[in-house]
């Protein structure tokens, strides 16, 4: 029995010396010290031995077990360390290679312009109001006093989803929702995406962004509208900017106007940007038509209002000298990086 213990010890040491992987070491542990291991079998068979044999074999077997456990644990540590060194060697970084620059993202020019306009009006006490991209035909046209034969209702101009539902062609839909949901006085701007059946070219896109504004209060007049938009233009294009209002027609405002700003490239002298006129049109506006306010049950004898709407792309093109609206949607980082 003693010889058998010595033989098990010798075989375990020989196999451990040759082991290179964790699985090999684990196999030696199982075959020697596992439930069915060689040394375990000797210890379990101790009951069949005489007293004298137990005194000799018991200590010898336990001593061998302790030594083998110690050798196996040491071998586990050795194999782990060797594997770690091999991994580090394989994953070693060559610090002499040139590094890679971390490219930082930039805010999109349309985001920059929209945030600048929103900040201007928030400083004047306006709130941000939002609405869904898919809205009712009533909110898009009927609630805005748009006649049934208005060209903007045609399928060649508006994306219809069903008879009464469409992709909103302007953010004016938020005005209708606001007059229905809120009681005056209030002042809001509604930035967001809009959709129209336009063929993409340098100045048109089927998807674009607008910022609409509406204020409802007592004694609101055209002078309030002109003062507000004149302030916005000076904040947006510079303190020397001048504004000019020209009569126009929109179904949802009466009287209506279009606002021009003095060309910020030539100062009003005339250049290719303003086509020699010295002025650039940037938005439409007017006093809100009483029929629009009546949609929300607002007393038009007590309250008046004004509204305005501008295209974010148009403002951005003028502000940054961009001559093709498609550049905003092509995700060309060479273009976008210029606005850092």
**What average pLDDT score do residues 234-244 get?**
91
The string of pLDDT tens digits covering residues 272-305 is 777 888 898 999 999 999 999 999 999 999 999 9
The candidate with the shortest Cα–Cα distance to 259, out of 292, 219, 232, 290, is: 232
Strand partners, 304: 217
- Report which of residues 84 and 307 the model is more confident about: 307
Does residue 102 surpass a pLDDT of 70?
A: yes
CA distance 269 to 332: 34
Strand partners, 127: 188
Does residue 1 surpass a pLDDT of 70?
A: no
> Which residues, in sequence order, are CB contacts of 284 under 8 Å at separation 6+?
248, 250, 253, 256, 257, 258, 259, 308, 309, 310
Phi and psi (nearest 5°) for 213? -130, 150
Fold of the domain spanning 109-339: BirA Bifunctional Protein; domain 2 (3.30.930)
By the 8 A CB rule, do 245 and 226 touch?
yes
Coil vs helix vs strand at 296: coil
Give me the pLDDT at residue 159, please: 95
Share of residues in the chain with pLDDT > 90 (%) = 52
CA distance 28 to 84: 22
The candidate with the shortest Cα–Cα distance to 118, out of 315, 305, 292, 264, is: 315
**What average pLDDT score do residues 203-228 get?**
94
Domain spans in the chain, listed from the N-terminal domain onward: 2-90, 109-339
The string of pLDDT tens digits covering residues 113-152 is 999 999 999 999 999 999 999 999 999 999 999 999 888 8
Does residue 54 surpass a pLDDT of 90?
A: no
């Amino acid at each position: 029995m003693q010889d058998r213990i010595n033989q098990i010890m010798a075989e375990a040491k020989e196999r451990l010396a040759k082991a290179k992987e964790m699985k090999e070491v684990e196999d030696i542990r199982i075959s020697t010290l596992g439930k069915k291991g060689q040394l375990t079998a000797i210890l379990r068979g101790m009951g069949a031995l005489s007293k004298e044999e137990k005194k000799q074999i018991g200590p010898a077997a336990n001593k061998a077990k302790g030594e083998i456990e110690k050798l196996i644990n040491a071998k586990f540590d050795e194999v782990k360390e060797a594997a770690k060194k091999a991994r580090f060697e394989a994953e070693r970084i060559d610090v002499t290679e040139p590094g890679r620059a971390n490219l930082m993202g930039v805010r999109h020019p349309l985001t920059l312009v929209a945030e600048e306009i929103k900040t201007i009006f928030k400083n004047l006490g306006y709130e941000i109001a939002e609405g869904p991209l898919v809205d009712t035909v009533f909110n898009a046209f009927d609630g805005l006093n748009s006649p049934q034969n208005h060209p903007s209702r045609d399928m060649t101009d508006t994306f219809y989803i069903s008879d009464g539902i469409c992709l909103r062609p302007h953010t004016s839909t938020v005005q209708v929702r606001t007059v229905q949901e809120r009681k005056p006085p209030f002042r809001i701007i509604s930035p967001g995406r809009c959709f129209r059946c336009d063929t993409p070219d340098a100045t048109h896109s089927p998807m674009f962004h607008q910022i609409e504004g509406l204020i409802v209060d007592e004694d609101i007049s055209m002078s309030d509208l002109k003062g507000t938009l004149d302030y916005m233009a000076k904040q947006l294009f510079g303190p020397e900017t001048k504004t000019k209002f020209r009569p126009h027609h929109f179904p949802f405002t009466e009287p209506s106007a279009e606002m021009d700003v003095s060309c910020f490239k030539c100062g009003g002298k005339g250049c290719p940007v303003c086509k020699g006129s010295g002025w650039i049109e940037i938005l439409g506006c007017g006093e809100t038509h009483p029929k629009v306010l009546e949609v929300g049950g607002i007393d038009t004898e007590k309250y008046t209002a004004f509204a305005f709407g501008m295209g974010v792309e148009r403002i951005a093109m003028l502000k940054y000298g961009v001559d093709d609206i498609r550049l905003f949607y092509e995700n060309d980082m060479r273009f976008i990086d210029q606005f850092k």
